[in-house]
A and B are shown apart, each in its own frame.
Chain A
Amino acid sequence: MIAVPRDEYRESLDELRADVESMANDVLGQLLRALDALERDDHELAREVIDGDDRINRRYLDLEGDCIDLIALQQPVASDLRFVAASFKILTDLERIGDLATNLAGYALAGGPELIAEVRLQSIGETAYGQVREAVDAYVDADSEACRAIAARDDELDAACQNASEAVVRDLIAGESDRWDVERLLDDVSRLLLTIRDLERVGDHAVNIAGRTLYMSDGDPELIY
């Protein structure tokens, strides 16, 4: 069969999908390492995550450029257009998840969350990580059912984060705080609250990815707005 110019175009669409998936795997790796750095108070690992953010950012700009090239040179329409548009937006979500992983690594470096309250960070982290993992898989497989499931499950992560934040504040009010250095306590509390909030945001980005994927696969903007 004779190669037609459109073959090259189809290959570049496949390449884009593979590249977004590979960037997503890199970001998921960052997230896992950041959670582990928090858990084990591993400063070296935390620094590795922070240094890795440059790599993620460069990858993001490269792939964004690939999307723009595809739009400018190939003028994709219909499902191809939805795929490129969705990928373009999903790249931003992945880059932001990378930033949040860097934040988490920063909290680990700053001393990690003191156990001032009964907060199961690793469990929340696992849920957030799982949401992103599944959203990326849904994107790769164009699985619209999975997208809806991910969006529906976000409430669980939100509730877990809400409960955790309340537990921190309740503990603070219950206050055996006189045995703490107040400055230190403020640092710890705000860092812990930020950790919880960042993990919740990771989940939000996973829902964004699912929303764009649903638009990509079904043309359905239901989860976007």
Chain B
Amino acid sequence: MSQTDTAETTANRTDSQGVSTTAGETVQETRPEWTNYEADGETKLAVDDLDVHYGDDHALKGVSMDIPEESVTALIGPSGCGKSTFLRCLNRMNDRIRAASVDGTVELDGEDIYQDGVDLVELRKRVGMVFQSPNPFPKSIRENVSYGPRKHGDIETGLLAKLTGRAEPDREDALVERSLERAALWEEVSDRLDDNALGLSGGQQQRLCIARCLAVDPEVILMDEPASALDPIATSKIEDLIEDLAQDYTVVVVTHSMQQAARVSDQTAVFLTGGELVEYDDTEKIFENPESQRVEDYISGKFG
């Protein structure tokens, strides 16, 4: 009797394996070799089997990819495909969403950023973020840039520092100039550093946000649709800047503009609905000859 039971159980197992093979048609559409791309250069961020749930919603499914240093990696895909979720995992911005649960590992220079004891302030200093709409603080241009270093205690500018002689206005000025230079904004604002940042144009505000991000000397810069709210001229300045920054930083950019991804990135990861990473390769390869039919259809605008 118990032997029959065992036999039945075994049979059931075989059945369920058979079913999963049938379901393999879906698996065929996302072949592992389409995503296990190895870029030239050192890996800066190694993401392995990353799963994200927002409550019952499975937002990212087992995403693994290595992001090389000093290059631009573009993340593209339709709305709701998980690309922004993925981006936010790279500096643990998802920690702020209570319902979000993250499994898998994200290694920055070989250290898992999700392990216990990671200092989030330090992590976000190393992995900075620039958002879709420019969000400068309602403060002067100078204060916007020096905000991070002051908060991190790298520069002291307060009244107490002034009275105790610890203030270093020269160092602050140098940092502000260096950061604004690097963000290609210095020439436009050097004579009005004490003006309110909200008086700048949208494109200038976005470059100011990039300068603010650079001021804390990050290693990785995450950008979530950094030019989608900007006109073509401001967009092209941001794109030039992205390419330039990639000489010193690891840049990961989410964009809805496929042409932007094609223009600025060295490698492109395509996420499709359901939180899957479907293809990850050199940008030329993705836009000239992608492996996946679904990726081809998506980038060519053949929907539905």
Do the beta carbons of A219 and B259 come within 8 Å of each other?
no
The answer to the question of B128 belonging to the interface, with a C-beta cut-off of 8 Å to chain A, is: no
Q: Please name all residues of chain B whose beta carbon is closer than 8 Å to the beta carbon of A123 when the two chains form the complex.
A: none
The answer to the question of A6 belonging to the interface, with a C-beta cut-off of 8 Å to chain B, is: yes
Please encode chain A, from 73 to 95, with 1 for each CB lying within 8 Å of some chain B CB and 0 for all others.
00111111110000000000000
The complex places the Cα of A76 from the Cα of B288 at a distance, in Å, of: 9
The complex places the Cα of A77 from the Cα of B289 at a distance, in Å, of: 8
Do the beta carbons of B288 and A80 come within 8 Å of each other?
no
The complex places the Cα of A75 from the Cα of B258 at a distance, in Å, of: 10
The complex places the Cα of A78 from the Cα of B279 at a distance, in Å, of: 13
**Residues 47-98 of A at the B interface (beta carbon under 8 Å):** 75-82
Q: Please name all residues of chain B whose beta carbon is closer than 8 Å to the beta carbon of A75 when the two chains form the complex.
A: 259
The answer to the question of B153 belonging to the interface, with a C-beta cut-off of 8 Å to chain A, is: no
Q: Please name all residues of chain A whose beta carbon is closer than 8 Å to the beta carbon of B68 when the two chains form the complex.
A: none
The answer to the question of B26 belonging to the interface, with a C-beta cut-off of 8 Å to chain A, is: no
Q: Please name all residues of chain A whose beta carbon is closer than 8 Å to the beta carbon of B290 when the two chains form the complex.
A: 78
Do the beta carbons of B302 and A77 come within 8 Å of each other?
no
Do the beta carbons of A219 and B300 come within 8 Å of each other?
no
The answer to the question of B301 belonging to the interface, with a C-beta cut-off of 8 Å to chain A, is: yes
The answer to the question of B262 belonging to the interface, with a C-beta cut-off of 8 Å to chain A, is: yes
**Residues 81-133 of A at the B interface (beta carbon under 8 Å):** 81-82
Do the beta carbons of B302 and A81 come within 8 Å of each other?
no
The answer to the question of B48 belonging to the interface, with a C-beta cut-off of 8 Å to chain A, is: no
Q: Please name all residues of chain A whose beta carbon is closer than 8 Å to the beta carbon of B300 when the two chains form the complex.
A: 76-80
Q: Please name all residues of chain B whose beta carbon is closer than 8 Å to the beta carbon of A6 when the two chains form the complex.
A: 301-303
Q: Please name all residues of chain B whose beta carbon is closer than 8 Å to the beta carbon of A77 when the two chains form the complex.
A: 258, 262, 287-288, 299-300
The answer to the question of B217 belonging to the interface, with a C-beta cut-off of 8 Å to chain A, is: no
Cβ-defined partner of A9 (8 Å) among B262, B301, B303: B301
The complex places the Cα of A10 from the Cα of B302 at a distance, in Å, of: 9
The answer to the question of B296 belonging to the interface, with a C-beta cut-off of 8 Å to chain A, is: yes
The complex places the Cα of A216 from the Cα of B302 at a distance, in Å, of: 18
**Residues 284-302 of B at the A interface (beta carbon under 8 Å):** 287-290, 295-296, 299-302
Q: Please name all residues of chain A whose beta carbon is closer than 8 Å to the beta carbon of B259 when the two chains form the complex.
A: 75
Query: From DSSP, what is the main secondary structure of chain A's interface residues?
Result: helix
The complex places the Cα of A80 from the Cα of B287 at a distance, in Å, of: 10
The complex places the Cα of A101 from the Cα of B262 at a distance, in Å, of: 41
Do the beta carbons of B301 and A78 come within 8 Å of each other?
no
Q: What's the least CB distance linking A216 to chain B, in Å?
A: 10
The complex places the Cα of A76 from the Cα of B290 at a distance, in Å, of: 13
Among A6, A78, A79, A82, the most chain B Cβ lie within 10 Å of the Cβ of A78
When C-beta atoms are compared, the residue in chain B nearest to A13 turns out to be B300
Q: What's the least CB distance linking B304 to chain A, in Å?
A: 9
Q: What's the least CB distance linking A200 to chain B, in Å?
A: 32
Q: What's the least CB distance linking A125 to chain B, in Å?
A: 37
**Residues 1-57 of A at the B interface (beta carbon under 8 Å):** 6, 9-10
**Residues 193-213 of B at the A interface (beta carbon under 8 Å):** none
Q: What's the least CB distance linking B154 to chain A, in Å?
A: 44
Q: What's the least CB distance linking B30 to chain A, in Å?
A: 17
When C-beta atoms are compared, the residue in chain B nearest to A9 turns out to be B301
The complex places the Cα of A10 from the Cα of B301 at a distance, in Å, of: 10
Q: What's the least CB distance linking A83 to chain B, in Å?
A: 10
The complex places the Cα of A80 from the Cα of B289 at a distance, in Å, of: 10
Please encode chain B, from 247 to 284, with 1 for each CB lying within 8 Å of some chain A CB and 0 for all others.
00000000000110010000000000000000000000
Q: What's the least CB distance linking A208 to chain B, in Å?
A: 19
Q: Please name all residues of chain A whose beta carbon is closer than 8 Å to the beta carbon of B296 when the two chains form the complex.
A: 78-79
Do the beta carbons of B288 and A82 come within 8 Å of each other?
yes
The complex places the Cα of A81 from the Cα of B262 at a distance, in Å, of: 13
Please encode chain B, from 43 to 75, with 1 for each CB lying within 8 Å of some chain A CB and 0 for all others.
000000000000000000000000000000000
The complex places the Cα of A204 from the Cα of B258 at a distance, in Å, of: 37
The complex places the Cα of A81 from the Cα of B288 at a distance, in Å, of: 7
Cβ-defined partner of A81 (8 Å) among B287, B295, B301, B303: B287
Q: What's the least CB distance linking B258 to chain A, in Å?
A: 7
Q: What's the least CB distance linking B259 to chain A, in Å?
A: 6
The complex places the Cα of A6 from the Cα of B302 at a distance, in Å, of: 7
The complex places the Cα of A80 from the Cα of B301 at a distance, in Å, of: 10
Q: Please name all residues of chain A whose beta carbon is closer than 8 Å to the beta carbon of B262 when the two chains form the complex.
A: 77
16 A-B pairs whose Cβ atoms sit less than 8 Å apart in the complex: A6-B301, A76-B300, A77-B258, A77-B287, A77-B299, A78-B287, A78-B288, A78-B289, A78-B290, A78-B295, A78-B296, A78-B299, A78-B300, A79-B289, A82-B288, A219-B288
Q: Which residues of A contact B (CB under 8 A)?
A: 6, 9-10, 75-82, 219
The 4 closest A-B pairs by CB, nearest first: A219-B289, A78-B296, A77-B287, A6-B301
Known: A6-B302, A78-B288. 4 other contacts (CB 8 A): A6-B301, A75-B259, A77-B299, A77-B300
